[in-house]
Amino acid sequence: MSTKPEIVANSITSGINGSHLIHDASHIGVDVKTTGMMFWKKTEIHVSGRVDTDREKDELDKVVASNANGFTVINNVRVDRR
């Protein structure tokens, strides 16, 4: 993997902010978390927060899948039905 995880996280964030189907992206956070050390290091990208509709969740899943670039993405975004 030649791409840095921070660049992938930034591309996921910009994809979420640029999507016209996700109305309020301020409730979604993208974090890079690394565990282990040296050769046993494991890097994960965590996407968490909430969206208002199932359509927004589907669009967010598409954006995350298209920008994952081989990294493990843990998606904890929930749909907030009011």
Domains in the chain, start-ordered, CATH in brackets?
Answer: 5-79 (3.30.1340.30)
> Considering the entire predicted model, what is its pTM?
0.85
- Cβ-contact 16, 60 below 8 angstroms: yes
Q: Which amino acid is located at 7 in the chain? A: I
Distance CA 38, CA 28 (A): 30
73: enclosing H helix or E strand: strand 72-79
Q: What average pLDDT score do residues 31-44 get?
A: 89
- For range 45-74, the mean pLDDT: 93
Residue-by-residue DSSP string for 35-71:
ES-GGG-EEEEEEEEEESSHHHHHHHHHHHHHH-TTS
The tens digit of pLDDT for each residue in 10-34 reads 999 999 999 998 888 889 999 999 9
Helix, strand, or coil here: 82? coil
Q: Residue written as tokens 């050769």?
A: 39
Is residue 2 over pLDDT 70? no
